[in-house]
Structure 1
Amino acid sequence: MPRVSVNQDKDQSLVRLGAAVRARRKQMNYSQETLADAAEIDRSHMGKIERGERNVTFLNIARIARALECKPSDLLVDAGL
């Protein structure tokens, strides 16, 4: 099966997920660096996730959700996915 790239994200799922992460992060008054540290993800990678530039893995979604004190499904619902 061919790998799906960010360029093939025609319905903007990654951008919408990134926006949901950013909105929750700001709601909690976390800096991007604080969230990245709590989720054990490199800060520059977190920035790319928030901008929809990375095809984020489920494990990273779970880490981000844990750091944001929510369920992974909450992030997906917030993104309209």
Structure 2
Amino acid sequence: MIGIRDQAAITLFGNSVRAKRLQKGFSQEELAYQCQIDIRQVGRIERGEINTTISTVFALSRALGLEVAHLFDFSLPPL
């Protein structure tokens, strides 16, 4: 099971983070500062380039003032 990635889910999550960030009026820099992560990390998450960690997901939700579940408010394509 090592190395399994669901690229569609990672991309949809990144799109969700971007949409929520823009709704809150945050720049990537502001979000990175609030989460205490590198600004490049925010860009990689939003572009679906990385499968981010649980701790970063929680930091994103706190910074955006959202429940964690709201970051996963998207539908995956059928299998």
The answer to whether the superposition gives a TM-score over 0.5 is yes
Task: Give unmatched runs, 5+ long, in structure 2.
Answer: none
The letter of the residue matching 2:50 is R
The letter of the residue matching 2:26 is Y
| Identity percentage of aligned residues | 37
Paired residues for 1:31-70 under 5 Å: 31-70=27-66
Task: Give unmatched runs, 5+ long, in structure 1.
Answer: none
Equivalent of 2:6, from 9, 13, 18?
A: 9
1:9 is displaced (CA, Å) by 2.4
The letter of the residue matching 1:46 is V
Q: CA RMSD in A?
A: 1.4
1:41 is displaced (CA, Å) by 1.2
Taking structure 1 as the reference length, the TM-score comes to 0.85
The runs of at least 4 consecutive aligned structure 1 residues that moved more than 3 Å come to: none
The letter of the residue matching 1:33 is E
Taking structure 2 as the reference length, the TM-score comes to 0.87
- Cα distance in 1 for partners of 2:22, 2:52 equals 20
The SS at the match of 1:80 is: coil
Q: How many residues are aligned here?
A: 76
- Cα distance in 1 for partners of 2:34, 2:44 equals 17
